[in-house]
Amino acid sequence: MAFVWHKWLRKSIRFPSTSRALFTLKSDPSQEIIKSPPLLSLDLPDVWTSNSKYFDPPSIRECTNECSARVIDGKLVAEKIRAGIAAEVMRMKESIGKVPGLAVILVGQRRDSKTYVRNKRIACEEAGINFVMAKFPDTCSEDEVCEALSSFNENPSVHGILVQLPLPHHLDEEKILNELRLEKDVDGFHPLNIGNLAMRGREPLFIPCTPKGCVELLLRSGVDIMGKRAVVIGRSNIVGLPTSLLLQRHHATVSTVHALTKNPEQITCEADIVVTAAGVPNLVRGNWLKPGAVVIDVGTYPLEDSTSEYGYRLIGDVCYEEAVAVASAITPVPGGVGPMTIAMLLVNTLDSAKRAFNFS
């Protein structure tokens, strides 16, 4: 039980409109004409039911002898990609005297947010990408954040803008993100980008970094996505949803499993490719997997660990020790998808700068 990530508790203040109580509201007379409710009223928090079987992982040493899966080394792949980006940035600088620029807006003192931003800064600096940051205290106003955003929007040396999420509760995340210029939305979270990702015949300006990193790992692992059964566990706007859409653009047959799915293990064990982004440690047990499946674990849950350097270590959604004995290939946590997300952020920033400078 201790491991359950109560998203509902974390989000209940920021998404008051997702309450079940709204089902009974009848504010719109057109509801008398059709039965279909407004979609916002349907939004329920994804509370994965606590189930003791998820939270009773085997000892980390238990099944090392059976291990068969190839470990997909995201760190190594990401390093290669970052080296390629550094070379491309250098070529740009030598050709036109310009480099890409990434701007980050950081509000508050969250330890995890500060860590993520620091990692992005280091990655940018190593690749030769200009990094600028606007930092605000927890108590800042929406206007202050929007003003910084507007200034980055107008700045021609900034090609990508990130607003580090989550924002403090008093700030309207959607309103702030709507201010972000589409051509600089290197996170790819704008609904127009998501729509263009979903629709055949269209192409988004940016593919969200984590889904793009997952697919890149699959492609580099020699996985032929077309025609494969893929299950995406989780349907968040930033990982699960765009991953499902992207895998479908690659012609996988995609099923999306979420907290309200009955018997998620039944559908998951039919998949050739499993991408899991639920944020529930050890949710995916060995018996959830089809032998030979490829498993991409996006989950990162900080587990307190006094023996670890920072006082915690990250664990994924997948019960790694069990899965490694069943899967044909698997990403570790940490060192799998995480480094790829940052590498893809750099790719998106580079692409954005190339577009801005008409440089190819």
Residues 279-318 that bind its own copies (CB under 8 A): none
The first and second tokens of residue 240, run together, are 């699960």
When asked if residue 26 is in the footprint of its own copies (CB under 8 A), the reply is no
- The answer to whether 248 touches 231, Cβ cutoff 8 Å, is no
Could you say which residues in the range 142-201 bind its own copies, by CB under 8 A?
A: 174, 190-201
When asked if residue 43 is in the footprint of its own copies (CB under 8 A), the reply is yes
Size of the site for its own copies (CB under 8 A): 72
Distance CA 258, CA 263 (A): 10
Return the bridge partners of 71, or none: 330
Query: Which residue's CB is nearer to its own copies, number 103 or number 215?
Result: 215
Shortest Å distance, C-beta 43 to its own copies: 5
Following CA atoms 356, 206, 223, 295 in sequence, which dihedral angle do they give, to the nearest 10 degrees? 140
The CA distances from residue 169 to 11, 47, 113, 134, 137, in Å, are 9, 20, 15, 19, 13
Shortest Å distance, C-beta 37 to its own copies: 9
Shortest Å distance, C-beta 351 to its own copies: 6
- Catalytic status, residue 164: yes
Binds its own copies by CB under 8 A, chosen from 9, 25, 40, 122: 40
Could you say which residues in the range 208-267 bind its own copies, by CB under 8 A?
A: 212, 215-216, 219-220, 226-227, 229, 235-237, 241, 245-246, 248-251, 253-258, 260-262, 267
Binds its own copies by CB under 8 A, chosen from 125, 147, 203, 305: 203
Shortest Å distance, C-beta 170 to its own copies: 17
- Catalytic status, residue 297: no
Binds its own copies by CB under 8 A, chosen from 12, 16, 25, 28: 28
Could you say which residues in the range 98-117 bind its own copies, by CB under 8 A?
A: none
Binds its own copies by CB under 8 A, chosen from 1, 21, 34, 60: 34
The kind and range of the H/E element at 58 are: none
When asked if residue 337 is in the footprint of its own copies (CB under 8 A), the reply is no
The first and second tokens of residue 157, run together, are 């040396």
Helix H, strand E, coil C: the string for 309-339 is: CCCEEEECCECHHHHCCCCCEECCCCCCHHH
The first and second tokens of residue 261, run together, are 């799915």
Q: Is the peptide bond before 38 cis (omega within 30 degrees of 0)?
A: no
- Pairing status of strand 312-315 against strand 301-304: antiparallel
The first and second tokens of residue 5, run together, are 């990530």
**Which of 7, 164, 228, 248 is labelled catalytic?**
164
- Catalytic status, residue 31: no
Could you say which residues in the range 66-95 bind its own copies, by CB under 8 A?
A: 81, 84-85, 88
Distance CA 106, CA 221 (A): 35
Distance CA 324, CA 77 (A): 20
Active site residues per annotation: 120, 164, 187
